[in-house]
Amino acid sequence: MDRAITFIRHGKTAGNLSNCYIGVTDEPLIIEGEDEIRKRNYPEADIVFSSPLLRCIETAGLIYPNQKPVVIDELRETNFGRFEGKNYKDLSNDIDYQRWIDSGGDLPFPDGESKAEATRRTIEGFEKVLELSKSYYNVSVIAHGGTIMGILSHIFGGDYYSYHVENCEGYTIDLSHDGVFTGFYPRSFLR
C-alpha cells in the first residue's frame, strides 16, 4: 500500500498578520489562527511530525488532539537574521534587504541562513520523517512555509516559491511502497 505524507503550514500568528519575517521567533497562534484551524477538516494521520516551534506544536495539538507529535528540530523555519520580526515596509530603506530582493532571495539573510542552507537542513529533517514513518501509511507534517517550499522544490524541482502555501493549508505527496515519490497535489482543508 502506498503512503500519503501531508504537509500542513501552521495557523496564523501575530507576525503573519503584519507580514513580518517570522522564522526563529517562537510566536504562539493567535485566536484567529486557532479558529481558522477549527473550521477545517484535515486528513487522519497515523503519525504526526512537527517543527519544534510553538506555532507548529499548537497547530498539531488542535488538528490531532489525541496524538503527541514527533518533534524534528530540522523542520524549523528559516533564520531570517536581521530581518527577523520586520516586514517589507520596515526594511524598505535597508541596502541589505534590497540586495537580498535583487538576488531573487538567494543571498543569505544578514546574520541568518540562505535559502540553500535552510533547504539542506529541512531535507535532513524530512529524511528523519521518512525513516521514522516507514511503518505508517498516513503521515502529517506540521511545519512552516519555508520548510514546505524547501522540501517540495528539492523533491519535485521547479521554483522554490511556486510551492508557497497559506497558513492552515498544505500539500499531500504520495510515496510508493518502494520509496518513489509518485506525485503531489495542493490541499484545501475547508469543510
pLDDT in tens, 99-121: 999 999 999 999 999 999 999 99
Q: Does residue 24 belong to any structural domain of this protein?
A: yes
Q: Does residue 102 belong to any structural domain of this protein?
A: no
Q: Does residue 177 belong to any structural domain of this protein?
A: yes
pLDDT tops 60 at residue 151: yes
What is the predicted pLDDT for the residue at 9? 98
CA 63 to chain centre: 15
What is the predicted pLDDT for the residue at 61? 98
Please report the sign of the dihedral spanned by the C-alpha atoms of residue 35, residue 40, residue 46, residue 48. negative
Task: Provide the percentage of residues in the chain whose pLDDT is more than 90.
Answer: 88
Mean pLDDT of the chain: 93
pLDDT in tens, 34-70: 999 999 999 999 999 999 999 999 999 999 999 999 9
Query: Residue 124 maps to which CATH number?
Result: 3.40.50.1240
What is the predicted pLDDT for the residue at 80? 98
For residues 175 and 3, give the distance between their C-alpha atoms in angstroms, rounded to a whole number: 5
Over residues 67-87, the mean pLDDT reads 98
pLDDT tops 60 at residue 8: yes
Report the run of H or E that residue 173 belongs to, with start and end. strand 170-175
* Cross-strand bridge partners of residue 190: 40
What is the predicted pLDDT for the residue at 191? 55
What is the predicted pLDDT for the residue at 178? 62
- The whole domain housing 132 covers 3-80+119-187
pLDDT tops 70 at residue 190: no
Q: Does residue 97 belong to any structural domain of this protein?
A: no
Count of structural domains within the chain? 1
Q: Does residue 154 belong to any structural domain of this protein?
A: yes
Helix (H), strand (E) counts: the chain? 6, 6
Instruction: List the one residue out of 124, 97, 123, 128 whose CA is nearest residue 110.
Output: 97
